[in-house]
Amino acid sequence: MTRKFFGTDGVRGRVGEHPMTVDFALQLASAAGRVLAPEGGTVLIGKDTRVSGYMFESALEAGFVAAGVNVMLIGPLPTPGIAYMTRRFECDLGVVISASHNPYDDNGIKFFDGSGGKLSDELEARIETELDHPVLTRSSRSLGRAMRVDRSRNHYQDFCASTLPEGVDLSGLKIVIDCSNGAAYKVGPRILADLGAEIVPIGCSPNGRNINDGCGSLHPELLQLTVPGVRAHVGLALDGDGDRVVMVDHLGRVVDGDQLLYVIAQARKQAGALKGPVVGTVMSNLGLEVALRESGIDFRRASVGDRYVLSLLRETEGMLGGETSGHILCLDKTTTGDGLVSALQVLAILRQTGRSLAELAAPMRKFPQVLLNVKVAERFDPSTVPAVQSAVRRIEQRLGDQGRVVLRPSGTEPVIRVMVEGRDESATRAAAAELAEAVRTAS
């Protein structure tokens, strides 16, 4: 069953352009209600700080209530917080209104099932099939009810704090936290402060339009300046919906998702608590694979997207995986990628070992990695184009076992992503440019 509107992470697009319109949101809620709560039930709806979130929240509320589904509105809360609260409230489903790390003029709608997990491809396809039917409005006796549960976000804060080892807090640590003017702007600083850390908040003043704007995990430059500037021990930067985190060491150097995954994996192994392989993606740095192998830790690669990392973790009975972007899955702590929970695992390691983040991440040496986004007239599968494949083989022969080549079409835009990795940076850049030109010519 193919999906027309659902991408790798829900429905997403430019606000005001189909499908990110009020009409579509109303239809989507009605369709999701019929599929996921056909006998009524309850949905939890949360959002990030985009100005468009208000109208989509209202449209979804109307669609669900009309379909006979009760609605709980929790307001701005990180995506993983919605997943957790969906389970805690025993809801039939959860909905997040967010476009994650994208600019404010984009937005998106994604769903969790009652267990806090992402919907299967089959369920998303069934919802799309229901979009062909008119919006359902039940009789007055069968309508759902709506209520606000904003204050219950304290439960999520308590949950995050509970993922620290017993007896460990953050006292003695000075931490800069950048919440990207997004969904974690309230709960993020509160969690760290309640655990005893001295905090310096930045990117915590949302105005509806400044989410991800020069801040957060995609733009950590201000964090890099602030951490050494205020003599903090460490900094952490979340993305707009709080499911990603990158960190900055005391010297102002970025520690990305691959390095954080290495730090957590090493600590879990040394504690005898690591189960199964560590799972990355085809885009994970080769340096991560090498460093884990040298530590005797099995490493597997999944397709890009946290849902595929999660699928491979379940298949291999693993507990730890993630992406370079900082979307890290600690399945021994929670069900989905959670930037705050992931950061707390690293901060706990700092407290337990007394070592700096720079020391902990040092054994993993990143290979130079060049990623180019090649715009094309229409999306296509580069593996089916002989000229592109010829260029790939030529470059792979030059790199040998000291590098990798990955080509993949974007799931959301007409772009082919070209990634080349190798030990020598100049040679790697030249190879990436050569391959990008081959893709551009083929389009």
Entry field: residues in the chain: 443
Place of tokens 């990623």: 371
Contacts of residue 55, defined as CB under 8 A and 6 or more positions apart, other chains included, come to 22
Tokens read off for 343: 């950061």
Residue of 30, 98, 100, 217 marked active site: 100
Decide: 92 and 37 in contact? Cβ < 8 Å: yes
DSSP state, residue 38: B
Region at 50 (left for phi over 0; alpha for psi -120 to 50; beta for the rest): beta
Task: Respond yes or no: is residue 171 known to be catalytic.
Answer: no
CB atoms within 10 A of CB 371: 13
Decide: 436 and 374 in contact? Cβ < 8 Å: yes
Q: For residue 302, what are the β-bridge partners?
A: 281
Q: Over 67-85, what HEC string results?
A: CCCEEEEEEECCHHHHHHH
Up-side HSE of residue 197: CA atoms within 13 Å toward CB? 29
Decide: 342 and 402 in contact? Cβ < 8 Å: no
Decide: 230 and 176 in contact? Cβ < 8 Å: yes
Integer CA distances (angstroms), 376 to 164, 413, 437, in order: 46, 9, 11
Residues designated as active site: 100
